[in-house]
């Protein structure tokens, strides 16, 4: 049986993790590769990097991050943020990303979805939809981190993105994002009812029950950022809650000692370095 996907999202700015938690035994909490590696062994089912680098000159820092991550972590990796062209996508895929999450550029020019799907296959085209409730039972797409309205109906857009070749929808409630009040369940139900491709729920989880509610509303991927980074929940705790509610999850993989990668010795001086404080 197919399992729900629990997906930590890391915000990366200029090649560094924003709001990264200082996990025990992490030598550099700001290094996205170290964070990704921790989530890898903790049982994450996929990883997402959201590149929030503002300056154009530093945009290529994400390529190095992706490349170093893909060399260590054998999990599906999605990268979003600032992707405007199929050439941007190609460079990320060559660096080792598996999927690209596109947002504003797809809204500005919907044919971008068709082009991306034709060129790389639907499986690597994630359309990110940032939605805000209008107050009369519908939702509107917002861009620019939720600041700019577009007048476009979010559910209609989800269906159009799917028809144009998106492989999945990453649906974020801008009303709930960062509130800890849980996913916007009516939004999620409307979107999962409107498309037959997978929908990843994002924005608002604050309790373990919220993950369960998201899955029951039809999401097959559950994405969260701060509850993982700040150590509020482990991936294992989320999976235990889902399993406890009778929902299908992949067990946390147990390391197989004989097959572990050879470990490099820590360099002198790190033993008392940036360990947990």
Partner 1 sequence: MNLAVIDYGSGNLASAARGLELAASRLGIGARIAITDEPDAVARADRIVLPGQGAFADCARGLAAKPGLRDAMLSRVENGAPFLGICVGMQLMAARGLEHEITQGFGWIEGDIAPIAADGLRLPHMGWNELSFTPGAHPLLEGIEPGDHAYFVHSYALASNTKDVIATTDYGTQIVAMVASGNRAGTQFHVEKSQEVGLTILANFLRWTPQ
Q: Smallest distance, Å, CB 241 to partner 1?
A: 18
Given the complex with partner 1, which of 178 and 251 has the nearer CB atom? 251
Angstrom distance (rounded) from CA 265 to CA 107: 48
Q: Smallest distance, Å, CB 177 to partner 1?
A: 24
> In this structure, are residues 45 and 7 in contact, taking their beta carbons and an 8 Å threshold?
yes
Angstrom distance (rounded) from CA 80 to CA 11: 10
Given the complex with partner 1, which of 124 and 241 has the nearer CB atom? 124
Q: Which residues are catalytic?
A: 11, 130
Given the complex with partner 1, which of 222 and 227 has the nearer CB atom? 222
Block residue for tokens 């947002």: 103
Q: Smallest distance, Å, CB 198 to partner 1?
A: 5
Report the chain's terminal Cα–Cα distance, integer Å. 41
Angstrom distance (rounded) from CA 16 to CA 14: 6
Three-class DSSP category at 51: strand
Tokens standing for 229? Answer: 């980074």
Q: Which residues bind partner 1 (CB under 8 A)?
A: 1-5, 40, 45, 67, 70-71, 74-76, 93-98, 118, 120-124, 167-168, 196-198, 220-221, 250-251, 253, 255-256, 259, 261-262
Q: Smallest distance, Å, CB 149 to partner 1?
A: 29
Given the complex with partner 1, which of 152 and 236 has the nearer CB atom? 236
Angstrom distance (rounded) from CA 50 to CA 24: 23
């Amino acid at each position: 049986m197919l399992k729900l996907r629990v997906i930590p999202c890391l915000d990366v700015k200029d090649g560094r993790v924003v709001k990264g938690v200082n996990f025990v035994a992490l030598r550099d909490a700001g290094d996205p590769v170290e964070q990704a590696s921790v989530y890898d062994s903790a049982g994450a089912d996929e990883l997402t990097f959201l590149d929030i680098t503002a300056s154009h000159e530093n945009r290529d820092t994400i390529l190095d991050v992706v490349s170093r991550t893909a060399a260590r972590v054998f999990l599906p990796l999605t990268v979003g943020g600032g992707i405007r062209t199929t050439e941007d996508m190609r460079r990320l895929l060559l660096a080792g990303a598996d999927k690209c999450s596109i947002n504003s550029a797809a809204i500005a020019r919907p044919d971008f979805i068709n082009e991306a799907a034709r060129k790389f296959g639907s499986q690597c085209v994630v359309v990110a939809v940032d939605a805000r409730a209008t107050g009369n039972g519908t939702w509107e797409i917002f861009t620019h981190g939720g600041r700019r309205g577009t007048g476009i109906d979010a559910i209609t857009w989800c269906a159009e993105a799917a028809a144009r070749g998106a492989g999945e929808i990453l649906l974020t409630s801008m009303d709930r994002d960062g509130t800890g009040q849980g996913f916007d369940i009516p939004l999620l139900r409307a979107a999962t009812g409107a498309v037959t491709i997978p929908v990843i729920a994002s924005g608002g989880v604050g309790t373990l029950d919220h993950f369960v509610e998201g899955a029951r509303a039809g999401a097959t991927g559950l994405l969260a950022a701060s509850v993982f980074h700040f150590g509020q929940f482990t991936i294992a705790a989320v999976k235990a809650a889902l399993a406890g509610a009778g929902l299908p999850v992949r067990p946390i993989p147990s390391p197989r000692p004989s097959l572990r990668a050879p470990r490099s010795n820590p360099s002198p001086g790190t033993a008392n370095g940036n360990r947990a404080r």
